[in-house]
């Protein structure tokens, strides 16, 4: 859910775009991070832990921790809390450590 009226802030969200979470279309804005767009769409699960396969969600949201790593446009281990949305972006849950695309 997004904030409608805020007593202090006006939000400049920018252009509406569409990103894809595991293939599912999600409405997003170009001035928000992938993490924010997924959160607004009610998506909490971003991945899973390596050993016990426990679900992972955001924690710090500013690029300090490694809780939100996902595969973005085939690039694994992307910190989605600091990457802004772009139209057509594919954001996929990552299994394992991922292979760097060069």
Partner 1 sequence: MRETEILVIGGGPAGIRAAITAAELGAEVLLCERDGWLGGQLIKQTGKFFGREYAGQRGFEICADLLAKLHNTAKIDIWLDCPVLGIYEDGVVSCQKKDRLEKIKPQRMIIATGAAENFLAFAGNDLPGVISAGAAETLMHMSGVVPAQRALMVGAGNIGLTVSYQMIQSGVEVAAVIEAAPQIGGYLVHASKLARTGVPIKTGYTIQEAYGEGKVEGARIMRLDETWRPIPGSEEDIACDAICLAVGLNPLAELCWQAGCQMELIRELSGHVPLTDENLQTTIEGIYVAGDICGPEEATTAMAEGKLAGANAAASLGYDTEQAQAARLAALAELGELRAGPMSARIKTGLDKLREKGAAKHA
Which residues share a beta bridge with 100? none
Rounded to a whole number of angstroms, the minimum distance from the CB of residue 90 to partner 1 is 19
Going by C-alpha positions, the residue among 22, 18, 30 that lies closest to residue 85 is 30
Using CB under 8 A, list all residues that contact partner 1.
1-4, 6-9, 11, 13, 29, 31-33, 35-37, 39-40, 44-46, 49, 54-65, 81-82, 84
Rounded to a whole number of angstroms, the minimum distance from the CB of residue 51 to partner 1 is 12
In which residue are the tokens 């991945």 written? Answer: 47
* Nearest residue (CB) to partner 1, 9 versus 23: 9
Write down how long the chain is.
102
* Nearest residue (CB) to partner 1, 69 versus 81: 81
């Amino acid at each position: 859910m997004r904030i409608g009226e805020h007593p202090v802030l006006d939000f400049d969200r920018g252009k509406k775009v569409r990103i894809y979470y595991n293939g599912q279309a999600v409405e997003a804005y170009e001035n928000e991070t992938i993490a924010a767009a997924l959160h607004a769409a009610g998506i909490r699960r971003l991945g899973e832990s390596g050993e016990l396969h426990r679900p992972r969600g955001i924690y710090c949201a500013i690029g300090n921790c490694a809780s939100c790593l996902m595969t973005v446009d085939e690039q694994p281990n992307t910190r989605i809390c600091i990457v802004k949305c772009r139209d057509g972006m594919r954001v996929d849950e990552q299994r394992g450590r991922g292979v760097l695309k060069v």
